Chains A and B, each alone.
Chain A
Amino acid sequence: MIYFQLFWAFFKIGLFTFGGGYAMLPMLQKELVCRGWTDDDELMDYYAIGQVTPGIIAVNVSTFVGYKIKGLPGALCTLFGIVMPSILIISLLAAGLTYIWDLSVVQHAFKGIRLVIPALLLPIIVKMLKKSLVDMGAVLILALAFGANFVLGLSPVWIVIGAGCLGVLFSRIKGKKA
């Protein structure tokens, strides 16, 4: 039963994710955190790991959650769940349904969805900032990560690696002071 729940939760997440990666955060939060399968801190850890490990972030995060909850069978369920909507929808499109995507009402609907996603993300960002900014060191890391990505255009891979190193460094400094 849990296997079907895992599959179904990630099927829904795949079906209502537009853009992948962070865009699926509101869905993940609702389906996973609200069920008690994981918490916000763990979700951020999954993203950090998903970003530096090979593969699509959305797939990595899904596999991680499935494996944490029910081992290898769990990971397979979440993996099948997240890719199934893509396989079904893209196959339908390739079978000649592309004209649906060209209809102006469909295009407008997608435009409407793109306006909702930022609104859905905002409460999550507020929550995550509150949780992760535990001291001045964390604030500094946030500022550096933001600057490195936004101003310098540095790849998230390097940002995650750099942030991990800074985390170790700051913890050592704190340890010495204490």
Chain B
Amino acid sequence: MIYLTLFWEFFKVGLFAVGGGLATIPFLYNLSEKLNWFSVSELTNMIAVSESTPGPLGVNMATYAGIQAGGFWGGVTATFGLVTPSLIVIILICHFLEKFKENKTVQAVFYGLRPAVAGMICIFLAALLSVVFKEIKSPYEIITSSVLFFCYLILVFRFKCHPIFFILLGAVMGGLLG
């Protein structure tokens, strides 16, 4: 029974949270008030853990909240509840797009969307950099971070290594120098 409720509640979160991980937070607050699955302070803890662990933020939070409410299978149920609306909606849109791919208006829409997406990625980059530099506390860190960042840039532009290589390199350098 708890699984059915979990699936349904997270199905609704997936259906109404438009715009990614952070959009799910208000819904989770609502859930914590409505059903006693987890407290608000537990929720704050969940957000912190979900942000620093691998994987999409929204998925991490659904899994975490589900586990709090109903153990491992609760986590699995909540996650699949969250992603089911995506599956349905995306398949519908795919069908529509396949049919209207050659349509002039559809092509004009995508001509407008691409630069907007490029702009939003630029903003995402600025937000990431501001988080990184807000964490810096000492002049020593300013120097090491700037030098490291510059080196990463050269490496990324110069060599076409897999991103995993760079992420692991970043983790090792962070662990060594931090």
Contacts and interface: CB of A to CB of B under 8 A. Distances in A.
Q: How large is the interface on B (under 10, 10 to 19, 20 to 34, 35 or more residues)?
A: 35 or more
Contacts of B55: 14-15, 17, 20, 82-83, 85-86, 89-90
A142 B118 contact: yes
Contacts, number: 355
Contacts of A119: 149, 152-153, 155-156, 166
A118 B129 contact: yes
Contacts of A120: 152, 156, 163, 166-167
Interface string A103-133: 0111111111111111111111100110111
B86 A86 contact: no
A146 B90 contact: no
A146 B119 contact: yes
Contacts of A51: 18-20, 117, 120
Interface in B96-147: 104-105, 107-126, 128-129, 131-132, 135, 145
Nearest to B94: A67
Contacts of A45: 110, 113-114
Contacts of B60: 86, 89-90
A171 interface: yes
A170 interface: yes
Contact of B116 (A114, A163, A172): A163
B91 to A, nearest CB: 6
Interface in B75-107: 75-76, 79-80, 82-83, 85-87, 89-91, 93-94, 104-105, 107
Given A60-B86, A109-B174, A133-B118, 6 more contacts: A44-B114, A83-B83, A87-B76, A122-B157, A142-B118, A170-B112
